[in-house]
Amino acid sequence: MSQLIQSIRGFNDLLPPVTAAWQYVEAQVADLLGAYGYSQVRLPLLEKTELFKRSIGEVTDIVEKEMYTFDDRNGDSLTLRPEGTAGCVRAAIQNAAISNAQVQRWWYAGPMFRHERPQKGRYRQFHQIGVEVFGIADVDIDAELILMSARLWRVLGLRDVRLQLNSLGSSEARAAYRDTLVRYFEAHKDLLDEDALRRLHSNPLRILDSKNPAMQAMIEAAPRLLDHLDDESAGEFARLRAILDSAGIEYDVNPRLVRGLDYYAKTVFEWVTDKLGSQGTVCAGGRYDGLIEQLGAKPSPAIGFAIGIERLVELLQEVGAPLPDGAPDAYLLIFGEAARLASHSVAEFIRDRVPGLKLQMHCGGGSPKSQFKRADKSGASWALVLGDDEIAQQSITLKPLRGEGEQRTVLLAEIAAALAA
């Protein structure tokens, strides 16, 4: 026998019943985004490598070591998208969606690809639902994104996520702070690990979110970006905080929150939980006012966030939030030849009469015992039994499969009322 072919490490199959939970979560997010006036975009999974290098930044985890990059047949270097923002900005520019200072509120959903070490909450193909807003400089929109995500957690019944908030300031202020930080780290060079040494001059801010315990005290005492904000960013950050305070949103100001991608400036935020171990960030985002100009278009302010769907679903499972399992509501059992002949018509009749009913029909005959076994296994709440008696009387027998309740036979024409009762 030839060897079985397995999937690629870090690339997961999503199967029932988990897919039902995914559909539910995705539908809740789509409804909510629609209700806030956001429109969906569907963009390519593959882009030119240059797009990610120029937007995410050469000295980032993603571009340095996580991208799936290969040469196309004509020699072009292509990359499977590691995140959604770069493609959205590329599409907005290319399709002139932001050329006249238009405001766009976009969302997307789909797989992202990063060559990371697979572990719980960290995969090589993973899924995000993300939001990007173009054309609004005011922190009104920063607040909208945060309130919108807070509502999503409420809708999903999640109370275990907390908002971490920071401001990275303008890119000029950040550049000045960067020098201060490099001087500080140089003075403590003996404490820096290999990763930090490598980043000391290329991306020193990233050292701030190192998880290395040996460096924590030194990092804790480092000069804080929040104390070096430009006046404009400081004012905006204060106003954002005031809006969140008045809206009753709790948050922690986390001066070490720097985000891993170069394009961020001013507001950055993450929603984190302590219920998922070290992969605790379920949603992350921030402002990237400089990116559109950096990609060659007229400058326009922009902000966005992305939710990691795997982590969100894992968290919902972890805290026991109610999630659908995709089981049918009813399972149709068919006994006898006359019933078997009529069963498809009867099933269609029921589907017409009870819109929305998830009805699974038994196929292929078999003894009552084996059919009831299947019905039970399907997870349905009701067995609908169609025998030759029922056919003769144009009726159907309802038998509850879970919990209390009596079996009864009702006229087929009254099936909707019977199931509702």
Q: How far apart are CA 97 and CA 301, in angstroms?
A: 13
User: Residues touching ligand ATP: how many (CB under 6 A)?
Assistant: 18
The stretch near ligand ATP (CB under 6 A) out of 200-208, 229-237, 278-286, 407-415 is 278-286
Q: How far is the CB of 195 from ligand ATP (least distance, A)?
A: 14
Cβ closest to ligand ATP, residue 281 vs residue 360: 281
Which residues, including other chains, have CB under 8 Å from residue 291's CB and lie 6 or more apart?
A: 55, 85, 89, 263, 302
What's the token pair of residue 30? 């789509």
Whether the bond into 328 is cis, omega within 30 of 0: no
Establish if 122 lies at the interface with ligand ATP (CB under 6 A). yes
Establish if 116 lies at the interface with ligand ATP (CB under 6 A). yes
Cβ closest to ligand ATP, residue 88 vs residue 283: 283
Cβ closest to ligand ATP, residue 108 vs residue 382: 108
Q: What DSSP designation does 119 have? A: B
**Residues 240/154, Cβ–Cβ less than 8 Å:** no
What's the token pair of residue 128? 């995000």
Q: How far is the CB of 296 from ligand ATP (least distance, A)?
A: 23
Which of 55, 167, 281, 343 binds ligand ATP (CB under 6 A)? It is 281
**Residues 236/139, Cβ–Cβ less than 8 Å:** yes
**DSSP 3-state of 281:** strand
Q: What DSSP designation does 162 have? A: E
Q: How far is the CB of 161 from ligand ATP (least distance, A)?
A: 11
Cβ closest to ligand ATP, residue 62 vs residue 354: 62
Smallest CA-to-CA distance from 119 within 288, 314, 268, 274 is with 314
The stretch near ligand ATP (CB under 6 A) out of 32-40, 121-129, 359-367, 372-380 is 121-129
Establish if 123 lies at the interface with ligand ATP (CB under 6 A). yes
Only one residue has tokens 């976009």, namely 106
Which of 105, 114, 199, 206 binds ligand ATP (CB under 6 A)? It is 114
Cβ closest to ligand ATP, residue 213 vs residue 248: 213
What's the token pair of residue 176? 């000045």
Cβ closest to ligand ATP, residue 116 vs residue 329: 116
Q: How far is the CB of 418 from ligand ATP (least distance, A)?
A: 45
Which of 79, 104, 128, 167 binds ligand ATP (CB under 6 A)? It is 128
Query: Taking each helix axis from N to C terminus, what angle separates 18-35 and 309-318, rounded to the nearest 10 degrees?
Result: 110
**CA-CA distances (angstroms) from residue 289 to 219, 266, 304?**
28, 8, 11
Q: How far apart are CA 146 and CA 271, in angstroms?
A: 9
Q: How far is the CB of 55 from ligand ATP (least distance, A)?
A: 12
The neighbour count for residue 219, using CB atoms within 10 Å, is 18
Per CB under 6 A, which of residues 228..247 are in contact with ligand ATP? none
Cβ closest to ligand ATP, residue 312 vs residue 384: 312
Angle 49-54-55 from CA coordinates, rounded to 5°: 105
Angle 321-326-327 from CA coordinates, rounded to 5°: 110
Establish if 132 lies at the interface with ligand ATP (CB under 6 A). no
Per-residue mark of binding to ligand ATP, 284-323 (x: CB under 6 A)? x---------------------x-x-xx------------
Chain residue at closest Cβ approach to ligand ATP: 308
Establish if 64 lies at the interface with ligand ATP (CB under 6 A). no
Which of 106, 107, 126, 331 binds ligand ATP (CB under 6 A)? It is 126
Angle 200-279-141 from CA coordinates, rounded to 5°: 80
How far is Cα of residue 22 from the mean position of the Cα atoms in its chain? 10
Establish if 210 lies at the interface with ligand ATP (CB under 6 A). no
The stretch near ligand ATP (CB under 6 A) out of 38-46, 92-100, 114-122, 145-153 is 114-122
The stretch near ligand ATP (CB under 6 A) out of 39-47, 115-123, 190-198, 402-410 is 115-123
E-strand stretches of 19-124: 39-40, 46-48, 69-71, 77-80, 104-113
Binding site for ligand ATP (CB under 6 A): 83, 114, 116, 121-123, 126, 128, 260, 279, 281-284, 306, 308, 310-311
